[in-house]
Amino acid sequence: MEYTIKQAAEKMNLTAYTLRYYDKEGLLPFVVRDSAGNRLFTDNDIEWLGLICCLKNTGMPIRQIKKFIQGALEGDHTLESRVKMLLEHRNHVLRQMEELNKNLDKINHKIKHYGGCLEEYKKQNIQSVHAN
């Protein structure tokens, strides 16, 4: 199946502007154009977009994503470097997750602390209302 840029953008929950930007940055070299110059996205292109979004959303720089895509276009002799790239990125994501979990623990601690303070405050206000 083929998709227009608008359809591909909607399918990926992106804007057409974002897809044009990705194309300009060299992230979509596999997307073909029709005789009028309009981009035509295939299901395979949508899969690639999913990977691009995943890598970008987890902090991989566009230049690194481009390097990964170029390697894929060059063929299987780049498999080792692409696997290495993904392993390094996975480690980056795992470090991010550890940091986020530490921050979440701190937030949960503060919620518990302030929740207790709030309960105590409410009790005091109820008691002072009944005392008057």
Write down the domain spans for the chain.
1-74, 78-132
| pTM reported for the whole predicted model | 0.80
Alpha-carbon distance values, 95 to 13, 24, 54, 86 (Å): 27, 31, 16, 14
Classify residue 40 by its DSSP letter. E
User: Using CA atoms, how far apart are residues 57 and 18, in angstroms rounded to an integer?
Assistant: 13
Taking only the tens place, the pLDDT of each residue in 97-126 is: 999 999 999 999 999 999 989 998 888 888
Mean pLDDT score of the chain, rounded to an integer? Answer: 94
Per-residue model confidence as pLDDT tens digits over 42-93: 999 999 999 999 999 999 999 999 999 999 999 999 999 999 999 999 999 9
Q: Does domain 1-74 have CATH number 1.10.3330.10?
A: no
H or E, element range at 41: strand 39-42
